[in-house]
Structure 1
């Protein structure tokens, strides 16, 4: 389609945990501009106003069916802060182990079931790895797909054992956890972790965890790949070979700003130590314009709505002052997304496993970024290998749970006050900002990882992270722009977290087409 003399593509992108529309301008086979359209409205903040102080623990896990534990934990941390409670060690351990189980299933389901599906795109029929890709990743039939579904279902049993159910569990509460695992529960969790680790080593990595952890540079990554057939034939090895074949490293650079709220508290006396000195296993921080901050200040977070379908306010507002008043006019020509535009210190920020690895100082990803900046290849590599960082700590923490020690410190009432919970969910930085007045929720704001990554332009007209990452993307076939799918999916989009009400207007749907798979 040509618009104002410019070639445009309107896309409805699937495999993004929801629905996403993109408008792309391109010239001479290269993307020159992009707009990310969150086409659903998320109204959880308004649903929560006036409800009981603890109601967020029940409602916010429903924000997303994939990362409900993350929303539950974040909501509880905000109330922990307001209550001024000191968590028992057991509570930290149970929270951590459950959270890691959710991270690991999300990473591998996305990598194998969502991202690697693009290897089957018709654009790649003639490539030497295409038949192998079908054998591995054909929907519901591929060898890797079937095994990944089975094993990620198994790892989630840990959340059910510790919290009663998954998804939408409510076992994390202000003051700790409401469940008390028995000795047999802990043994079962450890058994699941050990079995999952063996499978992850054999299928995903093709080597033991400690061998993978020796890979500390891009040169050592190549040496690892050449070292044995098991490395090359693993899913990670296939991903690396395929990524190089289709030049994934040339796609999806973006702004180069990274944000992590950090995650997984280190209990006193634990045998687990963080990547940097601090209270968390994975460190908080911000990297912007080549400079790194070793901490993260929530006071620097703002949300903009100039290009979002909300009632306008000037500049950006901190979440404690945030407004969520949806506004759509048939005469509006500027606003184009139901996603707000979060900014950190006035700048857009990419968040997710790659941001975690860089801010925590992981040598492999630090070396790879120094060599050529961020791209779709490095982003997905960080996601596929993050379980290798989590599984050893997860096993230790499961073994450190003491069934005879306290799991909860009593919190009778939630006092009036303000609090926030900040964690890194599976897709990156997640924050809940809460104000309690007279035992009721007076104010609630949620900023999800996909709101960060998939934001529209801000008050200054600066693109969001994956809008910017699309700029410069080559498009070999405008009728099948698989390259755009690679870039967006490298962020592991979760549109259902960002927005929550799909329009059914026929005239809207008629202008979009889906990527072929």
Structure 2
């Protein structure tokens, strides 16, 4: 895990021992919320805050924010390193592109392979066999479930959980809290006493390891000691749980991360009920067992925890809203070609009016990005020509009136779009998908919120949890489809009719979409003479983390930060909450290295 923002002292203090209630828990009268310590002395009226890098994400992100009277009034999202995979791919065999593109990131790996395969197959007119479609759905769906859950506990969780404050918890009361929210079996006083003892040893050593460099004791934390202990226990349990989730990838993809069984035209792993080196009956049984365990943890731990934390932080349903424009490309095709998660576009928070997606309206701008100037371009004709014009490191602040990021500015019809779980769930909700509507309405009813309040930091967390629950339940359904194909003898996994480049046209263009955990992912390819002539990838964190465009419109993170309260600029946990609610993955847009300064974390207030 990357280091978090470093406080003035390396060893965080134990959180406050306080029991005053300011909220009620899920299905219990035990306190899950407490008043924190007194508010710090109000900061000066105007400050410029620089967080570089913003950690607990994948990659390197710099956020600059203007704070006036304790509230963010303006913000700038700055990706500080250049990726360049589009240039690396030129001249290569398009059948190999997916292998390179998985290496964009070590977290969202399989999604880049899938988008690349679909782009090549679209360009060459290839339709994959049904069983290959199912296996691709299983790989993508299981990765989504794994990624969402790990994000909540290990990347976003410390924004809401005051870990050392758990040392003042009553293990018996914590056990009662656990029993009140779900039937999860780790619910005894002895169990939580063991977790508390382990945590106490860690804090007492002064070397907190995973929990180092947090903003512990911050007044923005609201969970009671018992809720903090519960969440800390689940943080640790999730580290073990993910072993089951990644085994699904290891079985179907050969390894995790970066599965190796993809292939243009389908999958390179055979399907044979009795084959010793294939997806066979034994493997299907193992997959079903893993999926059952994954689903149990999601339903009995993850979703109840999200609802518990959401009830404590309901005020965050009014913070981090953004501009209210959402885009989903949809994913998980069925046998008839329909998408399990539909595509669509929502503007101005109008959930009841979902427009059809037209990929021809997507452009990328570089007016405020470190590239050679160009007009807004569709990705099929996109140009990646980096030209850094910022200050020489080390520096304090960027000149945000000029170019200030390596991130491009994707736009849809000239409008900045938020992508991700919130976009997917609300597009499906707006299209009256009954499964999504029922699950979302259940979560909203529990929290006492309405759909419009999902446009917020809390809304993104809730949408991510609901999506995870639905996907975890869908994985066994797709596995059942695969079993059905095995029983009926529908074992084909590869269409090799267009494998030979001699069968390709002299020139071809195509695009491929998939929904990465963080949102809409698109790859565009141009093939000439059997080689890649141009390649462009527009990734979720490029959409969400874009800088301003030529019209001066903020990107989604920049807009969402405006209006965010900041109690203590030296410990800007509120800014982390907003940005982390999108689950940034800057490695998809940048590569990280700073060999000159060696600086890992810096927070500067002016």
Residue 157 of structure 2 is matched in structure 1 by 116
Write out aligned runs for 1:168-183 (5 A). Answer: 168-180=258-270, 181-183=279-281
Q: Separation in 1 of the partners of 2:339 and 2:600?
A: 48
Residue 192 of structure 1 is matched in structure 2 by 290
Contact 1:57 1:170 survives alignment (8 Å): no
Contact 2:94 2:530 survives alignment (8 Å): yes
CA RMSD of aligned residues (A): 2.2
Residue 407 (structure 1) aligned to one of 468, 482, 493 = 493
Provide Cα deviations, 1:437-466, integer angstroms capped at 9, x if missing partner: 111111000011000000000111100001
Distance 1:16 1:369, change over 3 A: farther
Residue 403 (structure 2) aligned to one of 335, 338, 351 = 335
Distance 1:406 1:462, change over 3 A: same
> Please, which runs of 5 or more residues in structure 2 have no aligned partner?
1-44, 163-214, 271-278, 392-397, 430-435
Residue 561 (structure 2) aligned to one of 470, 476, 479 = 470
Residue 452 of structure 1 is matched in structure 2 by 543
CA drift of 1:128 comes to 6.0
Contact 1:20 1:36 survives alignment (8 Å): yes
Write out aligned runs for 1:260-339 (5 A). Answer: 260-268=328-336, 279-291=338-350, 292-314=353-375, 316-330=376-390, 333=399, 334-339=402-407
Q: Separation in 1 of the partners of 2:405 and 2:569?
A: 23
Provide Cα deviations, 1:35-76, integer angstroms capped at 9, x if missing partner: 011011111000101111212121000111111111111100
Distance 1:490 1:421, change over 3 A: same
3-state SS of paired residue (2:368): coil
Distance 1:352 1:371, change over 3 A: closer
Is 2:464 aligned against 1:383? yes
3-state SS of paired residue (2:92): coil
Residue 239 (structure 1) aligned to one of 309, 329, 332 = 309
TM-score by length of 1: 0.85
3-state SS of paired residue (2:101): helix
Write out aligned runs for 1:80-159 (5 A). Answer: 80-118=121-159, 119-120=161-162, 121-124=215-218, 129-137=223-231, 142-159=232-249
Deviates more, 1:190-199 or 1:463-472: 190-199
Provide Cα deviations, 1:335-392, integer angstroms capped at 9, x if missing partner: 1111111011110000101100000114365875644461000111111221211122
Provide Cα deviations, 1:144-166, integer angstroms capped at 9, x if missing partner: 11221222221121111111111
Residue 495 (structure 1) aligned to one of 583, 586, 590 = 586
Q: Separation in 2 of the partners of 1:130 and 1:113?
A: 19
Contact 2:60 2:592 survives alignment (8 Å): no
Is 2:256 aligned against 1:166? yes
Contact 1:248 1:377 survives alignment (8 Å): yes
Q: Separation in 2 of the partners of 1:450 and 1:66?
A: 13
Residue 274 of structure 2 is matched in structure 1 by none
CA drift of 1:236 comes to 2.4
3-state SS of paired residue (2:460): helix
Q: Separation in 2 of the partners of 1:107 and 1:80?
A: 28
Contact 1:365 1:378 survives alignment (8 Å): no
Residue 119 of structure 2 is matched in structure 1 by 78
Residue 257 (structure 1) aligned to one of 325, 328, 333 = 325
Contact 1:159 1:165 survives alignment (8 Å): yes
> Please, which runs of 5 or more residues in structure 1 have no aligned partner?
206-233, 269-277
Q: Separation in 1 of the partners of 2:323 and 2:220?
A: 33
CA drift of 1:501 comes to 4.1
Deviates more, 1:60-69 or 1:408-417: 408-417
Distance 1:514 1:426, change over 3 A: farther
CA drift of 1:185 comes to 1.5
Is 2:8 aligned against 1:8? no
Provide Cα deviations, 1:465-496, integer angstroms capped at 9, x if missing partner: 01000001111111111110100000011011
Contact 1:159 1:166 survives alignment (8 Å): yes
Residue 602 (structure 2) aligned to one of 494, 512, 516 = 512
Residue 474 (structure 2) aligned to one of 369, 375, 393 = 393
CA drift of 1:171 comes to 1.7
Residue 355 of structure 1 is matched in structure 2 by 423
Contact 2:60 2:590 survives alignment (8 Å): no
Residue 17 of structure 1 is matched in structure 2 by 58
CA drift of 1:6 comes to 4.8
TM-score by length of 2: 0.73
3-state SS of paired residue (2:547): coil
Q: Separation in 1 of the partners of 2:137 and 2:145?
A: 12
3-state SS of paired residue (2:94): coil
Q: Separation in 1 of the partners of 2:456 and 2:355?
A: 23
3-state SS of paired residue (1:459): coil
Which is greater in Rg? 2
Q: Separation in 2 of the partners of 1:90 and 1:370?
A: 37
Distance 1:511 1:371, change over 3 A: closer
Provide Cα deviations, 1:320-339, integer angstroms capped at 9, x if missing partner: 11111110125694111111
Count how many residue pairs are aligned between Structure 1 and Structure 2.
466
Contact 1:260 1:428 survives alignment (8 Å): yes
Distance 1:381 1:471, change over 3 A: same
Contact 1:101 1:155 survives alignment (8 Å): yes
Q: Separation in 2 of the partners of 1:80 and 1:282?
A: 21
Contact 1:39 1:502 survives alignment (8 Å): no
Contact 2:368 2:548 survives alignment (8 Å): yes
Contact 1:30 1:474 survives alignment (8 Å): yes
Q: Separation in 2 of the partners of 1:373 and 1:109?
A: 21
Q: Separation in 1 of the partners of 2:226 and 2:537?
A: 42
Contact 1:254 1:374 survives alignment (8 Å): yes
3-state SS of paired residue (2:313): helix
